[in-house]
């Protein structure tokens, strides 16, 4: 009863709890927080030192008593306590300017397509422990499709591929449900890792995760570019142990990420081929939508379109598609009831 009373003064929130970034959407306000899912903890005092970009800047630079943690891995909660502190920090920040002493918001949060019951409960427990009175889970492809303004309630097939940091979710959708789909771990982080391996093997230089991500974003591509790109970066020489600057070009990056890109394209093809024949016919008309940060990799849409001979389109603002879908569901309780995943929890 008391929690329901407090809930009247709390703000409804949509959360995209991602491996790389977490976004918070507040009802009637829009996206208010978009921040790296990284936390810095002082292990001596168990104190939260930094979150988001400030914590990300500490990666690889901390003394032994400070640990930088990514509490979400491959789209699921990897560190329960840290993730709860992370989410609670931002729930309190969102309510800081209101009169709510103990916020108890209703929260919609996305989950991977193939999440286990244990992983599902971990997400629920994190959100409830962070202060929510009510938790609704929505599978990521559905949230992304809603965020892309796809009309899910019609009997027409649509396909969306959400390429995040730790995983890629892809699904064929019709009548507000997922007909077939899958989640694979080929995503942004794997592209970064293959770039690191390539640089180590071909340049004898070790680079960090942040540097690999910078290379991917600035000069990464899946198809040859009209104007070649090159980037100067620094790393540690394997032979001398000293810092060294080197140049890498777009052709070398394409070679580095060739294998995971091929895996991604093949799995998109498999998902299309596994759909019912009537829906495959729809997909050749409606095409495939790409969302998530990985959709911004140069030429990926053109490559998939060429390989599958189907139209492929990148959604508007692909980095925020999922949380915008959660935001729409905050306003549409009927659609939420149709698309929410089994196992949602309400307190009080």
- Domains in the chain, please, with CATH? 2-37+73-143+321-346 (3.30.420.40), 154-186+258-317 (3.30.420.40), 188-256 (3.90.640.10)
| Global confidence as pTM | 0.90
Strand partners, 28: none
Q: CB of 16 within 8 A of CB of 22?
A: yes
Q: CB of 32 within 8 A of CB of 25?
A: yes
Q: Is 296 annotated as a binding residue?
A: yes
Q: CB of 68 within 8 A of CB of 38?
A: yes
Phi, psi (deg, nearest 5) at residue 90:
-85, -30
Q: Is 215 annotated as a binding residue?
A: yes
Which runs of consecutive H residues, i.e. helices, occur in 220-276?
250-273
Give Rg (Cα) of the chain: 21
Strand partners, 248: 231
Burial of residue 253 (CB within 10 Å: 0-12, 13-18, 19+) is: buried
State the pLDDT at residue 180: 94
Q: Is 187 annotated as a binding residue?
A: no
Would you tell me how many other CB atoms lie within 10 Å of the CB of residue 308?
Answer: 18
Q: Is 295 annotated as a binding residue?
A: yes
State the pLDDT at residue 164: 94
Q: Is 319 annotated as a binding residue?
A: no
Largest CA distance in the chain: 66
Q: Is 237 annotated as a binding residue?
A: no
Left, alpha or beta for 243 (phi > 0: left; psi -120 to 50: alpha)? beta
Q: Is 19 annotated as a binding residue?
A: yes
Q: What span, in angstroms and rounded, lies between the C-alpha atoms of 180 and 182?
A: 7
Q: Is 208 annotated as a binding residue?
A: no
Q: Is 213 annotated as a binding residue?
A: yes
pLDDT digit of tens for each residue in the chain (348 aa)?
Answer: 444 544 455 789 999 999 999 999 999 999 999 999 999 999 999 899 999 999 999 988 899 999 999 999 988 899 999 999 999 999 999 988 665 566 789 999 999 888 899 999 999 999 999 999 999 999 999 999 999 999 988 889 999 999 999 999 999 999 999 999 999 999 999 999 999 999 999 999 999 998 999 999 999 999 999 999 999 999 999 999 999 999 999 999 999 999 999 999 999 999 999 999 999 999 999 999 999 999 999 999 999 999 999 999 999 999 999 999 999 999 999 999 999 975 443 333
Distances, alpha carbon 182 to alpha carbons 2, 37, 178, 185, 313, in Å: 41, 23, 10, 10, 20
257-310: per-residue pLDDT in tens?
999 999 999 999 999 999 999 999 999 999 999 999 999 999 999 999 999 999
Strands 288-291 and 158-163: parallel
């Amino acid at each position: 009863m008391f929690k329901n009373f407090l809930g009247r003064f709390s703000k409804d929130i949509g959360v995209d709890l991602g491996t790389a970034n977490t976004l918070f959407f507040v009802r009637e306000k829009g996206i208010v927080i978009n921040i790296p899912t990284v936390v810095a903890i002082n292990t001596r005092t168990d104190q939260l030192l930094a979150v988001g970009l400030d914590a990300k800047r500490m990666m690889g630079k901390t003394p032994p008593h400070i640990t930088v943690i990514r509490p979400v891995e491959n789209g699921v909660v990897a560190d329960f306590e840290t993730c709860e502190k992370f989410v609670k920090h931002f729930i309190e920040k969102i309510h800081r300017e209101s009169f709510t002493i103990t916020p108890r918001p209703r929260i919609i949060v996305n989950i991977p397509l193939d999440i286990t019951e244990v992983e599902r409960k971990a997400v629920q427990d994190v959100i409830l422990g962070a202060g929510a009175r009510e938790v609704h889970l929505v599978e990521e492809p559905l949230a992304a499709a809603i965020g892309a303004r796809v009309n899910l309630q019609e009997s027409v097939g649509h396909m969306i591929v959400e390429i995040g940091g730790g995983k890629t979710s892809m699904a064929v959708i019709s009548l507000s449900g997922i007909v077939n789909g899958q989640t694979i771990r080929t995503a942004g982080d794997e592209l970064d890792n293959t770039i690191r391996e390539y640089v180590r093997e071909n340049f004898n230089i070790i680079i960090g995760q942040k540097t690999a991500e910078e290379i991917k974003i600035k000069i990464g591509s899946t198809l040859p570019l009209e104007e070649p790109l090159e980037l100067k970066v620094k790393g540690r020489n394997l032979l001398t142990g000293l810092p060294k600057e080197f140049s890498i070009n777009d052709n070398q990056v394409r070679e580095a990420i060739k294998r995971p890109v091929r895996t991604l394209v093949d799995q998109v093809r498999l998902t299309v081929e596994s759909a019912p024949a009537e829906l495959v016919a729809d997909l050749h008309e409606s095409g495939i939508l790409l969302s998530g940060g990985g959709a911004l990799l140069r030429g990926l849409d053109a490559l998939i379109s060429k390989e599958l001979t189907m139209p492929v389109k990148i959604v508007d603002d692909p980095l925020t598609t999922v949380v915008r879908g959660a935001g729409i569901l905050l306003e549409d309780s009927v659609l939420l009831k149709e698309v929410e995943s089994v196992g949602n929890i309400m307190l009080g």
